[in-house]
A = this chain, B = another copy of it.
Amino acid sequence: MTHDTDVEALRQRRENLADRLDVPVILWSGRSSARNFPANCFPFRASSHFLYFAGIPLETAAIRLEGGKMTLFVDDPKPESALWHGEMPSRTDIATQIGADAALPMSELESHAVGAATIAAQDTMTALQQSRILNRPISPAKVLQGIDLELAQAIVALRLSHDRAALIQLRQAADVTVQAHIAGMAVSTNASWEADVRATMEHVILANNMSCAYSSIVTVHGEVLHNDRYHHPMQLGDLLLVDVGAETSTGWAADVTRTWAISGQFSATQRAIYDVVLAAHDACIGKIRPGVEYQDIHLLAATVIAQGLVDLGILRGQPEDLVEMDAHALFFPHGIGHLLGLDVHDMEDLGDIAGYEEGRKRSDRFGLNYLRLNRPLRPGMLVTIEPGFYQVPAILTDRDRREKYRDVVNWERLTQFADVRGIRIEDDVLVTETGREVLTAALPTKAEAVEALVQGDLSSLEAAYS
């Protein structure tokens, strides 16, 4: 195998789990999903919970954890597989690499399964196998009960705070992601299509033997929040919203967004809104430290954006009042960010168990419902901070909303900002013992520095930041 494993870190994770849970645990890695026929699969992605404890993306494997000990269940490669896949490590080799205490074939798993807790794998075939081997129905991971819920809560407690081994990986993902964004900026003025920029950026990720942590967003239509198409031409007056992140070979992710002017020069209106979003970004990051409520960070972003839009004459009123009535959400309809780790929305397979402190539920408020994280921050947490401004037609042309916000939006003034369809600025921020560290700080956020990179003026980067 070619993945770095930190056997000591894996052992510590198992012991931490044993401290919180006294039932045996079996975690399945999952199997490849067929693309258009069984032999033509999507790239295998192991379950994140499996990766957390096993450290490497073994396919069709399981681990049993109990009392800090790990037993690996995996079949030795079949002799004929050497023809197609080369010589693969044996079960014993793999067990040594990941520090397993024992190693058995998959056929032995059933006899070691009594009373074990688990979490459903993402692929249906593995989920069916889990039910069969544990001899009980397995709930989807977001509606867990009993020992499976206890397991999920224990895993969340561990995975919420990243250990040293995780941070090494997360920093690698962040570094490659920064490189990808710089490459994307540098190619923009010469790119004909969104697809050219996407290809340039994913090139950097692939060349570093990483994969994309999620479907890249590279679009002149930033107002479409989950845009995964790349067929629009790059036109000089447009902004390009780029949300691209790398994932290391053992599954650790980065998640970064920048928005730049394709020409390398923001228009006055683009620059004005950009600076509002950046002010929210900087204010939020400045507030991150242990003990702070993430929802308060979100509301801070809302307030700063509301203030900025008041200053620009787009909104009318007091920022706090505007946030209270969710007027900011007309233009910033999503949450300020989310957990980041082995998943780009970390542990989102568990529903809100990871994102929401026990006893808290999602708000019904238009301006809070999409908030994915609602916990007090603690050291070791990695979160994104990603304020944005979007002119989403589905929101802004909605008759009820136009009526409700009739007096607080200056629609006439807003038309002058038609060249700002969507702006988002997103960084990955680690909560430290005393404050914060931005893992993606090497990628500029200031408008003039971004402009310099797009214009290909790498030398000015340092000056812009001095």
Contact = CB atoms under 8 A, between A and B. Distances in A.
Given A82-B393, A202-B203, A209-B230, A48 B36 contact: yes
Nearest to A86: B224
A40 B344 contact: yes
B199 A343 contact: no
A206 B215 contact: no
Interface size class of A (residues with CB under 8 A): 35 or more
Given A33-B33, A193-B207, A209-B193, A86 B221 contact: yes
A2 interface: yes
B35 A45 contact: yes
B394 A36 contact: no
A204 interface: yes
Contacts of A196: 207
A198 B214 CA distance: 19
Contacts of A333: 83
A85 B345 CA distance: 18
Interface in A371-396: 392-395
A202 B198 CA distance: 11
A83 B394 contact: yes
Contacts of A87: 393-394
A200 interface: yes
Nearest to A140: B38
Contacts of A199: 202-207
Nearest to A41: B215
A394 to B, nearest CB: 3
B224 A195 contact: no
Contacts of A208: 195
Nearest to A251: B36
Contacts of A393: 82, 87
A231 B203 contact: no
Contacts of A225: 83-85
Interface in A97-139: 122-125, 128
A365 interface: no
Contact of A125 (B37, B43, B124): B124
Pick the most buried of A35, A41, A193, A251: most chain B CB atoms within 10 A of its CB. Answer: A35
Contacts of A226: 84-85
B348 A122 contact: no
Interface string A205-232: 1111100001100000101111111110
Pick the most buried of A86, A343, A347: most chain B CB atoms within 10 A of its CB. Answer: A86
A39 interface: yes
A231 B221 CA distance: 36
Interface in A126-175: 128
Given A200-B203, A204-B199, A333-B83, A36 B209 contact: no
A192 to B, nearest CB: 9
Which 10 interchain pairs have the tightest Cβ spacing? A82-B394, A86-B224, A124-B124, A199-B206, A199-B207, A37-B349, A33-B33, A34-B122, A42-B42, A203-B203
6 contacts: A2-B229, A42-B42, A84-B224, A199-B204, A199-B205, A202-B203
Interface of A: 2, 33-43, 45, 47-48, 79-80, 82-87, 122-125, 128, 193, 195-196, 198-200, 202-209, 214-215, 221, 223-231, 251, 333, 342-345, 347-349, 392-395
